[in-house]
Amino acid sequence: METLSIYVPKLVTKGEYIASGHRACSGCGEVLAVRYVCKALGRNSVISMATGCMEIISSPLPESAWEVPWIHTLFENASAVASGIESGLKALKRKHGYSREVKVVAMGGDGGTADIGLQSLSGALERGHDFLYVCYDNEAYMNTGIQRSSETPFGASTTTAPAGKKSMGQHTWKKNMPAIAAAHNIPYVATSCCSYPFDIMSKVEKAVKIKGPSYIHILSVCPTGWRCPSSQTIKVGRLAVETGIFPIYEIENGQYKLNIDLPKLRPVEDYLKVQGRYRHLTGESIAEIQVRVIEEYNKVRQLAGLKKIK
């Protein structure tokens, strides 16, 4: 991976652009990811955020945890609002000589990105707006009661896809949002995880320097919805990567690069067994997930020009 200045811990800004005292759950991986993203963005940024966990925990009227200009939007239109902000800033530069460089960023959870907000996101990417979209993926609609989304993994139990005598929980496979974003032929797409702060910050730093739309998809561990100890957030996120369930890579101008190259993966069971949402799975189901994970991981390796693993 390219070495950026932000990799040196001592050079990471001490500024905090989402303040402490917010209402996030103990061990929330999503708010950790937001913190890292905002550190890389800095003060000269404007954020459009879809309804979701981060909106709820950060803006109970009349208070706000945000230290940068921040707009709460509906579930479905964070990208449309960001498009308007970007167009407005262009008009200010054109008509009034406004010179300050302001980073325009849209943010949403997996529901506000892969489901309800997909139409406006696709439109903004297709139109080529100069903005960054960040998806914080905790793999369900956690804020409203742990309902399944199209990012909920196969086999996970949620309140609307519960495990039981006649159901094994979620029966569809996780939607590949980074591939959908990349299909718009945008200059930069990347994945990351809340357990890898320097990876997040370096990718955000890179994304906002690129002209045109960028998309970053961050796996955000949710102890409440995933039924894992809040003290294990970082460990669980790393297990997702080390088992190949969530590969960390970037696509720059169509070229894939696997940032964390794992020639040998840990068994998926290491990841599944620490989460209560998977406790109902049988050995047969786990074996099915293992086969699928290796298959999908090898697709990314091949796109990055690497050999398959077994």
H/E/C letters for each residue in 31-51?
HHHHHHHHHHHCCCEEEEECC
pLDDT of residue 1: 37
Q: What's domain 13-303's architecture? A: 3-Layer(aba) Sandwich (3.40)
- Is 222 within 8 Å of 142 (Cβ atoms)? yes
* Digit-coded pLDDT (tens) for 277-302: 999 999 999 999 999 999 999 999 99
pLDDT of residue 10: 75
> What is the reported pTM?
0.96
Question: 10-residue block means of pLDDT along the chain (310 residues)?
Answer: 53 89 96 97 96 96 95 97 96 85 97 98 98 98 97 98 94 98 98 97 96 98 98 98 98 97 94 98 97 97 95
* Digit-coded pLDDT (tens) for 155-173: 999 999 999 998 999 999 9
pLDDT of residue 2: 40
CB atoms within 10 A of CB 50: 28
Annotated domain spans of the chain: 13-303
From first CA to last CA, the distance across the chain in angstroms is: 24
pLDDT of residue 97: 80
